[in-house]
Structure 1
């Protein structure tokens, strides 16, 4: 049963009619006292809570009631709804434990999707509590499709179990972890185990999209929207409609692009560049980053309201050094691929080499292990790979060599920066990701400098490694 707490009879009536049409049982209350009484006496599965009662528009009454609800029922989903929307109020409500924040006037489909998602999550959690025991790999494989993920480590199995349960809902998911830990694989697995599995799965590397192209890439443009817009273009969100959009490296997004992304995530609406017509989108959002977004919020480089929009569920992938038990399994999987790819059916890794690899720190995680294995296979003349084969192929980060710094007064700071960027691009053969790493900045920051200084670059360089 859904409980609506709102002093506006028109709002209560509209919400009750909408929910009853979708066969949700509904009760309503006009103030905090009535709401608390119903919570004590009825089996309520979700609350839609107005933040403002009577003439007060500060949100204090709603916040006080939210605190009381959280004390009574800590796990009860709460959706805040208000006509006096503000970012600060939304963030304050989320900090107090609200699950979502909807502005008046609301979009019916968006509100219904939020309600359905939160109730589904609550039901999934209840089922999990009833059968609370550590899942093994066999049980997971019988319940979900995780065939693309190689893992037997217990912390990975627990993460996969959560991913499988969450997949059945439309909850937004934030996947965190170091580079190379397999965040994209987890995102694909969530989509593959969802009700949207037969719909599009659109991957977007936000670190590889320059600020000036963000709107065109994400929302599309019409012909003539800007100088080079010779044809209409469909944006990534429209491509992902009814499916899933995977926003990789969301921590690299600049401030202005964060604002534009927030609107579509909050209202599920956007405008095509060059058109004034608003489009609605039905999409499941999965984000990933190797950055600490909470620290970025404290520093003011990532919006707090955007963080609350994307992390209804957070999956933190452990680094490979913390799941050494999985390295033999990963090696077997990789060697199977190498045998077929290079037509060497007798390829093997010695037991001593396996143990040696398990002790390596591997800061590049699975990606580094894969590169090391493949290079070793290509270089080795024998089919049995030993420790020496791998140790000789340990990945070394290229260091940008600068023979001599310019004398003071010979170049301006801007000219020096331009020179370093050009040298980095030349050294790394126009690979944006490698050049940015050598310069100690993000790809997004490098793209902004390329535009600022009008430095030519190959935006679609096929050799650029950007996946996580």
Structure 2
């Protein structure tokens, strides 16, 4: 771990001490700052990030008890609990050193110091600070990953020609760092494709961070993606890492990217081009290294034509496009998928080994599946729960008896197809939003957004 590119702040009311320490440390570390008046310390901590603080313990003439140093130590750790603080005094003893460590200091040095000892102590403190930062980052990543990753059905299944084309594209693109735009109707498995791309990439050992742009209120987009500094706005008590910084080194998947407002598209474009971002309320850019995967259920040319998408941003995110077929174009995959879901849910709900009757298979093949694979999955979960015995029959499926839905159209007509599908489902459900959302495999909030988008 290199410590040369480090920022150190020296606080002492003796200019000769500051000069001596600066001359010694500047040959070992990158940036050395000095401060004679500790009253300015908290303002400096708000404006600059330091790896280590060397803090004198007495600032009043003839003071020897170290009370001022302990008071400032408490204030520093209130601002940054992970700050590495080395206390310095000419009047120290073992008792004072023990108290300093218990109160949160990283180390304790006596004046006059030994040069080699001071350099070694500062180097160790920098490594400790960076270790704490890395642990915090890993914990935040783990928390995010625990919420993001759904491992129930992470395998992609299909032998249809339409899916074989998808698999072929994934195998060609996965190992590259190309940005990929995944197109397809709701419930076709866009996130599964994104995860498959990540697993096949050189970033597979690092994180996969998923963010649903359709579930974020407009005023929180920037905060969610870029994060914020402590105190950036009312209620921002602690620093928050944005999804882009969390994903650094790995893959960021932005689902429903068509919901990104135009101003944020411009900011995101700059981040992707410059490879660094600045959190809200901060003035220090942070480097990032991500592979970006995006998904939308709206035809890309429609997004640009309606003025909802910047052409330059679209070019940046769709180096490669992958079009996912609706389930109606994957007839030979339906029974295979249904059997896969059935076996998984049977294990989950401790059911006996189940099989589909011929009549149930016919029913599954004849249904139009407006909610695509997601709806099929929900259907099989419900059927497993309601089944009695060791077979699933037509009655267990509980599919709508009359639902005349046309297959999802080509990519250029995805938006029109979605609007027509929602209208048919609402009519079938007699305007019941909850029922329609369940059939479509959406949350109520997601359905309401689509009703507003399509002016329904």
TM bin (shorter chain)? 0.5 to 0.7
**1:327 and 2:337 correspond:** no
**1:318 and 2:325 correspond:** yes
Q: Residues of 1 paired with 2:183 and 2:399: CA distance?
A: 31
Residue ranges of structure 2 left out of the alignment (5+ in a row): 1-152, 404-424
Q: Alpha carbons of 1:356 and 1:392: their partners in 2 closer, same or farther (altered >3 Å)?
A: closer
Q: Would you say the 8 A contact 1:399–1:438 is kept in 2?
A: no
Q: Would you say the 8 A contact 1:246–1:285 is kept in 2?
A: yes
Kindly state the Cα deviation for residue 439 of structure 1 after the two structures are TM-superposed. Answer: 6.7
Q: Alpha carbons of 1:169 and 1:442: their partners in 2 closer, same or farther (altered >3 Å)?
A: farther
Written as runs of structure 1 = structure 2, the 5 A alignment for 1:155-170 is: 155-170=162-177
**1:276 and 2:286 correspond:** no
Between 1:375-384 and 1:250-259, the stretch displaced more is: 375-384
Aligned twin of 1:253? 260
Q: Which of 277, 296, 307 is equivalent to 1:289?
A: 296
Kindly state the Cα deviation for residue 381 of structure 1 after the two structures are TM-superposed. Answer: 2.6
Written as runs of structure 1 = structure 2, the 5 A alignment for 1:150-299 is: 150-299=157-306
Q: Would you say the 8 A contact 1:244–1:284 is kept in 2?
A: yes
Q: Residues of 1 paired with 2:168 and 2:391: CA distance?
A: 36
Q: Alpha carbons of 1:392 and 1:219: their partners in 2 closer, same or farther (altered >3 Å)?
A: closer
Aligned twin of 1:380? 387
Q: Residues of 2 paired with 1:276 and 1:399: CA distance?
A: 53
Written as runs of structure 1 = structure 2, the 5 A alignment for 1:28-177 is: 148-177=155-184
Q: Residues of 2 paired with 1:315 and 1:221: CA distance?
A: 33
Aligned twin of 1:308? 315
SS at match of 1:314: strand
Q: Alpha carbons of 1:170 and 1:392: their partners in 2 closer, same or farther (altered >3 Å)?
A: closer
Written as runs of structure 1 = structure 2, the 5 A alignment for 1:311-460 is: 311-392=318-399, 398-400=429-431, 433-438=443-448, 440-441=450-451
Kindly state the Cα deviation for residue 428 of structure 1 after the two structures are TM-superposed. Answer: 8.9
Kindly state the Cα deviation for residue 345 of structure 1 after the two structures are TM-superposed. Answer: 2.1
Q: CA RMSD in A?
A: 2.9
1:393-426 superposed Cα distances (whole Å, 9 cap, x missing partner): 679655556xxxxxxxxxxxxxxxxxxxxxx89x
SS at match of 1:305: helix
1:159-205 superposed Cα distances (whole Å, 9 cap, x missing partner): 11111111111000000000000000010000000000000100011
Q: Would you say the 8 A contact 1:436–1:442 is kept in 2?
A: no
Residue ranges of structure 1 left out of the alignment (5+ in a row): 1-145, 402-423, 446-468
Kindly state the Cα deviation for residue 252 of structure 1 after the two structures are TM-superposed. Answer: 1.4
Q: Residues of 2 paired with 1:433 and 1:309: CA distance?
A: 30
SS at match of 2:286: strand
Q: Would you say the 8 A contact 1:178–1:290 is kept in 2?
A: yes
TM-score, scaled relative to structure 2 = 0.56
1:264-320 superposed Cα distances (whole Å, 9 cap, x missing partner): 122222111111111221110000011112112011111111110110000000000
Q: Residues of 2 paired with 1:378 and 1:209: CA distance?
A: 33
Kindly state the Cα deviation for residue 147 of structure 1 after the two structures are TM-superposed. Answer: 7.5
1:347-404 superposed Cα distances (whole Å, 9 cap, x missing partner): 1111231122112110100111111111122223333112232245679655556xxx
